[in-house]
Amino acid sequence: MNCGPQPLAVKVPHYSLSQIALTHTAPTTLTVLGAWLHDNSPNGCWRGKIYVASTISWDGKQNTFVQRGCSPNYMAGWWSLTCCKHDMRSGGPLRRVLAQRNSEAVFIFTLAEQDEMNRQGLVSVAKMTEHFPDMQTYARRILSSRDGRLISSRLSRRRQNDDLCGWRFGDCHANRSGEVGAPHPEHEHGKNRAHCWDRDNTPGHELLLSDCFKIWPTPVFFSKQTLKQSRYGLGLNGGTLSKLLR
């Protein structure tokens, strides 16, 4: 779905990942996926976290994955996870591997919610190329990029009538002056869900950003087991990849 200019009273319910996926050609076999993970890791060494994004689902009528939430954000050629999954991003295991990512890469595997056949399709895999300790630091990074599309897609506090929907799905609760606070009232974590944005803005969890990721336009890989909304996500590596995905 193209967000586009919208009347102020209209909420955008979701956005489609199909067009975004076309620029991030994804592997169609576990062998090729494993090779991509290996090739984008120091000496082939990597660790990952796999979790279910309850706001992403497969829409068979539109033939696309749709994202109804703000994390992960896939807009503007970047992947980011800075809202939601606070426990996973504050946990010791993830922080330790992030601190050592020059010797061991870190990947986040995102599954959709269960489809009509009770399957959980793999939506994306992202290598963590940057991470930040708090929303203020993340805001400075976004603004210093001078990338208009990145800025517009991530800043959530002021409505921009473009196709990037930061006011609705942005995950950086700051304005163009870098001031952190409440997002736009129509934001997914806006006025009526104050506890969400307040926790987003509270330091103590890693804010993740990537420019190295793959998105699947249609379901190709599925979880071998039904995964619930676990607090810390499920760990995996090269030896367990085929045990967890099919």
30-55 per-position pLDDT tens digit: 999 999 999 999 999 999 999 999 99
Q: Give the SS3 label for residue 29.
A: coil
Q: What is the pTM of this model?
A: 0.93
Cα–Cα distances in angstroms (integers) from residue 15 to residues 24, 97, 220, 241, in the given order: 17, 31, 20, 29
Tell the burial category of 54 from Cβ atoms under 10 Å away from its Cβ (0-12, 13-18, 19+).
Answer: middle
pLDDT higher than threshold 80 for residue 4:
no
Pairing of strands 46-52, 105-111: parallel
Give the confidence band of 227 by pLDDT, cuts at 50, 70, 90: confident
128-185 per-position pLDDT tens digit: 999 999 999 999 999 999 999 999 999 999 998 899 999 999 999 999 999 999 999 9
| HSE of 191, CA atoms in CB hemisphere, 13 A | 3
Edge-first strand order for the sheet with 105-111 is 212-215, 122-127, 105-111, 46-52, 234-237
| Partners of 64 in the β-ladder | 59
Phi, then psi, of 98 in degrees rounded to 5: -65, -35
Question: Are 76 and 170 contacting, i.e. CB atoms less than 8 angstroms apart?
Answer: no
Q: What's the confidence (pLDDT) of residue 5?
A: 53
Alpha carbon of residue 184 to chain centroid: 20
Q: What's the confidence (pLDDT) of residue 231?
A: 77
Residue ranges of domains in the chain: 13-131+209-246, 134-203
Give dist(CA 214, CA 224) in Å, integer.
Answer: 20
Give dist(CA 111, CA 157) in Å, integer.
Answer: 28
Question: Are 33 and 241 contacting, i.e. CB atoms less than 8 angstroms apart?
Answer: yes
Torsion angle of C-alpha atoms 51, 62, 29, 240, degrees rounded to 10: 10
